[in-house]
Structure formats: structure tokens, C-alpha cells
Chain A
Amino acid sequence: MRESFVSAAEDLLDEDPRAALIMAEISADLFGKAAARHPQRVLNVGIREQLLVGVAGGLALAGLKPIVHTYAPFLVSRAFEQVKLDLSYQGGHAVLVSVGASYDAARGGRTHQAPEDVALLDTLPEMTVHVPGHPDEVPELLRGAITGLGSYSSYIRLSALSNRSCLPVSPSLQVVKSGTGAVVIAVGPMLDPVLDAVADLDVTVAYATTVRPFDQAGLAALAPDTVVLAEPYLAGTSARLVCAALTGRPHRLLSLGVPRVEPRRYGTPADHSRLYGLDAAGIRSAIAGFTGLR
């Protein structure tokens, strides 16, 4: 996904004289060509994340369209006060694009993992959040986020985990499998493990890339009694929005995602998916246990 982002950002910088890219070393080697072409609008501030986001806020004040890029924990949690005050409180807007997601850097340990990112950004008003599930979904999401900068900021959460195929980009829930037993919401790269888990189960699977704003109308239209939320970040991050969408409708909800534990294990992303029950086998076991479907 990172390569897809780099290519799309290069195009935007060429096309839009107000577009700017700010980095804090991470990925700077990938943007050498863009920096040579646009030295005033492609900036690398060094390993300085507070400054990274503060500069983005200043660029927004100057009328530019900043794309702010680094590793997820450095962008969201390390610089959260700057995201809150230098962008949101100032009324300025930027597109935040992270890499690393929850545990792409499984071998890197907790310092390079950010399962908390969406939950933290959820405390801010008017933050759109995109979780692409395939590299080919990234360019359109980035372009849409830039277009939206007049009125809101966006967060695009890139991951090394990816689905086998790309789906059309949509702000709405997309039903990719229909059934009667439950509605399973699969966010971004959770789609493939969910589809593998429920291949022979009578359930609906709805795919989401844009999770803020959450498609509450789309979920309500599916009128489920039983909902399973499969998110690639902290378990339950979107639970309040599922419940709000179904207010007045008796329903049961199972929230799958990264648990609030520190496993102190290395290995691969696949290892961590298995540890957290987010691989196909874990998801199937959880859904079967919750719904009684076999």
C-alpha cells in the first residue's frame, strides 16, 4: 500500500500547486523524485514528530493542502496533542497517512505498533477515517481526502496486510456476501480472513473502508439482530456507532479486533493475527460461538 500511496501522492503534487507533503524521515527515501520537483512543497523535518504535525497546521493556515506521513504510532499517539490543537482546534485540515497499522511491524515490538490509532482520533470532531483493504483502493481514497480538505481532515491507515482483490471505493458498507444468520462487518484488510472464516456460514458480510463517518444508515438498512464487527485495530473501536445505528432495535454485538494486552511476542503479522484470534480460524471460532451457526 505504501508504494501505491507514494505514486498517488506524486501525481497529486504534480497536479495541485496547493498540495504539500510533510514527512519525518520515514519514507523520505521514496519521495526523492517528488522532493526534487517540488522542493517548497515536499518537506522532511527530520525525526521530529511534534514539528511534523505543527508544520502541517501552519501549512494549512497558509492555505496549503498538507499530506502528513509517518509511522502510525509516531503520527497519531506521539503527536496527538498537535493533531488535536495544531490541526483540529485551529480549524485547519490535513490528510494524515500512516504506515505500520496495528502490527505490520510484528518483529519491531510495541514501539512500532498502533492498534490505538483510530480510537484516539475518534475523540476529535470531523475526522474522516479510511482503512483501505487493498493497494489499489488507496489512490482514490487519497484523492477524495484532498478534495475534502476544505471542510474536514482525514486519516488514511495503510497496512502491509491486504485483501486478495480490490473492491470499488465507497463511503458506504458494501455487501459482498448475503445471508440471514448475522451481519459481519469487515473493515479494510479484515475482509479476506472474514470471508475465509464464513465461507460456508449463512451470514451477510459487509465491507467497510471508510469507518468515519460510519455508515450507520447502511447498517440500519440491513436490519440485523446479530452483528459481528471485525476491525483490524482495537476491539470495539466502532462498537458505539454500531449500537447507535441500531438504537431501538434489539440486537447482539460481538466486537473482534486487537485486544488491550501487550503480548510481548515478535514474529510475523500472521502470527499476531493468530494470537489475537483475527485469522480465519479464530474469526470462525468466535462467530460460531456467538451465533451458534455451524
Chain B
Amino acid sequence: MAMTYAELPGLMTQLTGDEKHSASATSTLDVIWVLYDAVLRVSPQTVDDPGRDWFLLSKGHGPAAYYAVLAAKGFIPAAWLAGFGGVDSRLGYHPDRTLVPGVEIGSGSLGHGLPLAVGLAHGLLARALAEPRVFVLIGDAELDEGSNHEAIAYAGAAGLPNLTVVVIDNQSASWGWGAGGIESHFAVSDWSAVRVNGRDHAALTAALTMTPPRPHVVVATVEAKDA
């Protein structure tokens, strides 16, 4: 029984116990919803199909929005949400891929998702699986981690067309990303790069379904973390 976007706040309340959700807790909500609702070719029945689209939540912090979407789309029972973080719960404050159906990577420590995604994109092509796409979500402050920059320079040169990065930009990086913004750090390495409103579902859908013949980054602007 598919749920709607309007039901996500109720699911998040089951997770956190809070009636109101701060902007930082929901910074990823719209992007993850749009991915699972309109972009990713994956369903609860195809979570182990190598030809599925893959979504890697690299920014494992604040996963309430992620778990809520997975519940809304039937990957996990909504009944799991209430135990969030408990010793018998499969849902931790950082996700574990071995515990949660549909979760592609265990994350939490920042800067691991994009290098994993580069390897995954390579591996799918090596298996002649050209159709599945690899999406990885990172945060603007997570981009501080140097491992991302190893991956950005390499993936641009390797030209992986099946790789899409979404950077949630809630302006939380202490030192920012300079006059050119986050997208300039990808574009200089020959990525396709666009910036959209991270709350605009139509704009997100359009940006996330672009398939340029090289890696693609979507910078999704949301409210500032400390606004």
C-alpha cells in the first residue's frame, strides 16, 4: 500500500517522537522522496537484483527521512520505526546495510559513499550492466573529506556515465566552497553539474533524470542548517 509524501512527517514522528522536525533533520527528505518516488528503478521486490538502480546514502547522519521513505515505499515495515536506535532495532542512528532491506551501504563516517559509488559504477559496467544507475547522496559539509576529492577527480577523468551525485547544500560547511560554489569543484573535473531548489520536486526530478555521457552532480539547495 503506497503512501504519499504527505504521510512522511507522521512516519518521522514515529521515529523521533517529535511532532515538529527541524530543517536539518529534513534536509534530505525531498531529495530522497523524489528519488524513490520518481527516479530510482528499484522496488522492495528488486533490492537484490543487480540490474536495479542503486541509492547510496553517504551522509548517514540524521537518517530519519531515509527510513521514513523506505517505510512509505514498503522496503521496511512501518512497525520498525518506533524502536529507532534501540538495542533490538534494525534502524540505528547510522544505517547498516546488512540489517535494513534496501539500504545499499552502511554509512556514518563521512566520505565513504562516493568512493564506493565509483567502484560500484565501474563494477556494473564491467558486468555489462549499462542500464542501472548509481546515485549517492552527500552533504555539503561531508564534502570536506578528502576522499571525496580523490573520487571527484578520478570519476570525471574516467567518465563514468552511470554515476550521479546529489549534494544537499544546507550551507553547513564551516569554510564554504568558494565563489564558484560546490558545483565548480565537480565541473573543473569534467562533471556535468546543475544546481536546483532542493524542495522543488519537479526541478529535482528533472535534474536527477538527466543522463549526460559523463558523471553528473545535482547540488540541491535547502534552508541553511542554522537558519
A interface residues with partner B (beta carbon < 8 Å): 18, 20, 22, 40-41, 43, 45-46, 48, 50-51, 53-64, 66, 81-82, 85-86, 89-91
Shortest CB-to-CB span from A86 to chain B, Å, is: 6
Interface residues of B in 86-139 (CB under 8 A from A): 97-98, 104-106, 109, 111-112, 114-127
Point out the residues of chain A lying under 8 angstroms from B116, CB to CB: 54-55, 57-58, 61, 86, 90
Q: Which of A20, A43, A50, A58 contacts B120 (CB 8 A)?
A: A58
Indicate whether B5 reaches chain A with its CB closer than 8 angstroms: no
Query: Do the beta carbons of B121 and A58 come within 8 Å of each other?
Result: yes
| Chain B minimum-CB-distance residue to A48 | B150
Bound complex: CA of A205 vs CA of B151, how far in Å?
A: 48
Interface string of B145-157 (1 = CB under 8 A from A): 0110011011000
Return 18 A-B CB contacts under 8 Å, by A number: A45-B150, A45-B154, A48-B150, A48-B151, A50-B147, A51-B150, A54-B119, A54-B147, A55-B116, A57-B116, A59-B120, A59-B123, A61-B119, A61-B123, A63-B50, A82-B112, A82-B115, A90-B116
Q: Tell me how far the C-beta of B16 lies from the nearest C-beta in chain A, rounded to whole angstroms.
A: 25
| Closest chain B CB from A15 CB (angstroms) | 15
| Bound-complex Cα distance A51 to B111 (A) | 10
Per the CB 8 Å criterion, the residue count for chain B at the interface is 30
Closest to A89 in B: B106
Other 7 A-B pairs with CB < 8 A, given A45-B150, A61-B105, A63-B127: A51-B115, A55-B115, A55-B119, A56-B119, A58-B119, A86-B116, A91-B98
Assuming the contacts A58-B121, A59-B120, asked whether A41 and B150 have C-beta atoms less than 8 A apart, the reply is: no
Instruction: Please tell me if the beta carbons of A85 and B109 are within 8 angstroms of each other in the complex.
Output: yes
Chain A residue nearest to B111 (CB atoms) is A50
Q: Tell me the complex Cα distance, A40–B162, Å.
A: 14
Which residues of B are found within 8 Å of A61, using beta-carbon distances?
54, 104-105, 116, 119-120, 123
A62 touches B105 (CB 8 A): no
User: Which residue of A18, A48, A82, A86 is within 8 Å of B154 (Cβ)?
Assistant: A48
Q: How far is the CA of A283 from the CA of B153 in the complex (A)?
A: 49
A59 close to B122 (CB less than 8 A): yes
Inter-chain contacts of A53 with B (CB < 8 A): 115
What chain B residues lie within 8 Å of A50 (beta carbons)?
111, 115, 146-147, 150
The interface residues of chain B lying within 8 Å CB-to-CB of A81 are: 109
A78 to chain B, nearest CB (A): 11
Residue of A nearest to B121 (CB): A58
User: Of all chain B residues, which has the CB nearest A42?
Assistant: B126
